[in-house]
Amino acid sequence: GLDLTQFEVGDLIGEGAFGQVYVASHKRSKRVKVALKCMVKSQQDRYLDIDGHSTPVLAEVAMMLRLMKAPRCPNIIRLHNWLEIEDNFVLILEYAESCQTLLQYIKDTADIEENQARQLMRQLIRAIMFCSERGVFHGDIHTANILVTLPRLELKLIDFGCAQPITQKPFNKSDYRGAGHGMPPEALRCRVFHANPAYVWTIGIMLYEIMHGRLAFNNRQSIMFGAIQIHPRLSTACVDLISQCLIRNPAKRLQLHQVEEHCWFNPTTPNPV
């Protein structure tokens, strides 16, 4: 069986709302580093059924397992295994080496160039489309839940603690467990929302934040009614993509499968003069 004594636990590498994350190495396979996400069990924990298990597992685990069946997406952190030890859950995750959160990357980098932003957004969209196809709504995509490796800018989506299975039925506002500033406007206005339009809203929010170094909207009032202030240095294509993802009416918003085809992702090389 698997237990924690098989790992040599190292430094604390992250702290979120619900747990501590430590880097560790597997003693037998010496150099294989993992990230141990340790959480204390609580009354609020959600559990879901998964194939091959007689009892429901932590929703975060169940949702990640849907994404771990081959072929996997390189832009989603891998779940190797998990443990329940008395009052604790421990997720054994792929360790993203020489990485930082997108939050930190944005803080450290003034005026991120569109080429870099495009590279990051392509990978984020790949991760999101993969989740959507596997019936997983992440529900908490923000800059502290995205890791970026330096200098190559490889992106990994993490933290499925708020994830939900996608069904035919729309989600209710109360199903949304992620950070409030990521809530799509239809959840606030109509109290129901669908996964894909909410994902597209998130794509707009993330691209805005990468290009401006700050949130597009700070509170519920501005999510519903606020005008977005776009920096004049942005290209027309970039402004158009942000605007189309942040259309408040989900029926008029760009659709998830259209995002990748937007002209911002397909820049034509300028003709030499």
Q: How far is the CB of 105 from ligand ADP (least distance, A)?
A: 11
**Residue 125 identity:** I
Residues in the chain: 273
Instruction: For tokens 């072929």, name the residue.
Output: 71
For residue 114, the surrounding DSSP H or E stretch is helix 114-133
CA 78 to chain centroid: 13
Q: Which does 135 bind (CB under 5 to 8 A by kind): Mg ion, ligand ADP, none?
A: none
What are the CA-CA distances from residue 134 to residues 1, 67, 69, 128 (Å)? Answer: 29, 7, 10, 10
Whether residue 56 contacts residue 48, with contact meaning beta carbons closer than 8 Å, is answered with yes
Of residues 150 through 209, those in contact with ligand ADP by CB under 6 A are: 158-159, 161
Least spacing, CB of residue 179 vs ligand ADP, in Å: 10
CA–CA separation, 139 vs 220, rounded Å? 17
Q: Residues 93, 148, 161, 241: which binds Mg ion (CB under 5 A)?
A: 161
Residue 93 interacts with ligand ADP (CB under 6 A): yes or no: yes
Contact pattern from residue 97 through residue 136 relative to ligand ADP, giving x for each residue in contact according to CB under 6 A and a dash for the rest: --x-x-----------------------------------
Which of ligand ADP, Mg ion, none does 67 bind, CB closer than 5 to 8 A by kind?
none
Supply 189's token pair.
């206005």
Task: For the segment 10-69, give every residue that binds Mg ion (CB under 5 A).
Answer: 16
CB nearer to Mg ion: give 78 or 253.
Answer: 78
| Partner from Mg ion, ligand ADP, none contacting 170, C-beta within 5 to 8 A by type | none
Type and span of the H or E element at 157: strand 155-157
Residues that bind Mg ion (CB under 5 A): 16, 145, 159, 161
